[in-house]
C-alpha cells in the first residue's frame, strides 16, 4: 500500500438545501518521500484535501489511509494525537501568534508532547537553525519580513519531526526572492530529511521544485489533457500526471 492512499475520498458540506462536495471521489497515491505540487482552480478542493491529509478534517465517504492507518476511522482524540505526531502544516499567511516570539511560536506544538525543557529547547533551537532564522529567535512576527515569518512557520511545522508536511500556497504572499528561498528550504526538507511534502500552489514556477505536479478539478484529479486552462495559472498540457521530475540541485540552498 502506498504511504498516503486516497480511494473515493469525499468531503461534503450541507449549506441550507445545497450539498457542496469540495472533494468528490478522489483517488490519489502519494509515495513516501514525494514532493508533490497540487494545482487547480479556486474551489477545486485543494485546501479540503490538505486538511484531510493533515487530520484537521475527516472524510464523509471514501478512505484515506496513511502509513496503514485509516484516518477516517480515528476518533477525534486519536486523530489529534496522530496529527501532532505525524503532520506539520504551513499556511499561506503563516498563522504565527502575534504576541509570541519566533522562539515561542516554534515551541508551541512541542508543548503537546511530554518533553523535558532542555530537550524542548534543543529541538526549537535546531528547527530555527534549520530554517536559517536562529538570530531572530527573540523577534515578534511584526518585526519580521514575510519571508522570515514563513521560515518561522516552517520551523514550527518541523519542530515535532513529522513525516508529512502539507503547505497551502506557502509562497502565495511572498516576493520572488523570498518565495525562492522558501521553496529551496522545502526542497531540502524533502531531499535531506526525507519529509513527504504536499504543497498547493498557483505559481507555475514553484512546480519546478516539485518531483511531480497533479491537477485538481471539481474535487477530483484532472485527467491529463482534459485540464481547464482559463481558470488555472498553469501550463497544463505538458504536465503529465505522473511524470517524475528530478528535484533541482540544491546549490544556493541555505546550509
Choose the stretch contacting ligand ADP; rule: CB under 6 A; options: 2-10, 35-43, 86-94, 159-167. Answer: 35-43
CA distance 186 to 31: 17
Among the residue ranges 41-49, 70-78, 118-126, 230-238, the one whose residues contact ligand ADP (CB under 6 A): 41-49
Which does residue 88 bind out of Mg ion, ligand ADP, none, counting CB within 5 to 8 angstroms by kind? Answer: none
- Distance (Å, rounded) from C-alpha 145 to C-alpha 102? 12
**Strand, coil or helix: 166:** strand
Q: How far apart are CA 96 and CA 94, in angstroms?
A: 6
Q: How many CA atoms lie within 13 A of 118 on its CB side?
A: 0
Which entry of ligand ADP, Mg ion, none binds 99, CB below 5 to 8 A by partner kind?
Answer: none
Q: Does 13 bind ligand ADP (CB under 6 A)?
A: yes
Distance CA 170, CA 174 (A): 8
Q: Are 221 and 27 in contact (CB under 8 A)?
A: yes
Q: Is 47 in the site for Mg ion (CB under 5 A)?
A: yes
- Applying CB under 6 A, the site for ligand ADP has a residue count of 12
Q: Which of 43, 146, 204, 236 binds ligand ADP (CB under 6 A)?
A: 43
Q: How far apart are CA 159 and CA 120, in angstroms?
A: 9
End-to-end CA distance of the chain: 35
Binding span for ligand ADP by CB under 6 A among 37-45, 104-112, 237-245, 246-254: 37-45
Specify the residue, 149 or 169, whose C-beta has the smaller distance to ligand ADP. Answer: 169
Q: Is 201 in the site for ligand ADP (CB under 6 A)?
A: no
Phi and psi angles of residue 207, each rounded to the nearest 5 degrees, phi first: -70, -15
Q: Which stretch binds Mg ion (CB under 5 A): 41-49, 107-115, 191-199, 217-225?
A: 41-49
Binding site for ligand ADP (CB under 6 A): 13, 15, 20, 22, 40, 42-48
Amino acid at each position: 500500500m502506498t504511504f498516503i492512499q486516497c480511494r473515493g475520498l469525499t468531503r461534503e458540506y450541507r449549506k441550507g438545501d445545497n450539498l457542496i462536495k469540495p472533494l468528490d471521489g478522489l483517488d490519489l497515491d502519494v509515495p513516501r518521500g514525494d514532493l508533490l505540487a497540487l494545482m487547480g482552480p479556486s474551489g477545486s478542493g485543494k485546501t479540503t484535501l490538505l486538511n484531510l491529509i493533515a487530520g484537521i478534517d475527516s472524510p464523509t465517504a471514501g478512505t484515506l489511509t496513511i502509513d496503514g492507518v485509516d484516518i477516517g476511522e480515528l476518533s477525534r482524540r486519536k486523530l489529534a494525537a496522530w496529527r501532532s505526531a505525524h503532520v506539520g502544516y504551513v499556511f499561506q499567511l503563516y498563522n504565527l501568534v502575534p504576541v509570541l516570539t519566533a522562539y515561542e511560536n516554534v515551541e508551541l506544538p512541542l508543548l503537546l508532547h511530554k518533553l523535558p525543557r532542555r530537550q524542548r529547547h534543543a529541538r526549537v533551537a535546531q528547527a530555527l537553525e534549520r530554517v536559517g532564522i536562529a538570530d531572530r529567535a527573540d523577534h515578534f512576527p511584526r518585526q519580521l519580513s514575510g519571508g522570515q515569518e514563513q521560515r518561522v512557520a516552517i520551523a514550527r511545522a518541523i519542530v515535532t519531526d513529522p513525516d508529512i508536511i502539507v503547505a497551502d500556497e506557502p509562497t502565495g504572499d511572498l516576493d520572488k526572492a523570498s518565495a525562492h528561498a522558501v521553496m529551496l528550504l522545502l526542497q531540502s526538507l524533502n531531499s535531506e530529511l526525507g519529509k513527504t511534502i504536499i504543497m498547493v500552489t498557483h505559481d507555475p514556477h514553484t512546480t519546478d521544485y516539485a518531483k511531480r505536479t497533479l491537477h485538481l478539478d471539481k474535487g477530483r484529479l484532472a485527467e491529463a489533457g482534459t485540464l481547464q486552462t482559463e481558470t488555472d495559472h498553469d501550463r497544463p498540457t505538458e504536465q503529465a500526471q505522473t511524470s517524475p521530475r528530478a528535484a533541482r540541485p540544491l546549490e544556493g540552498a541555505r546550509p
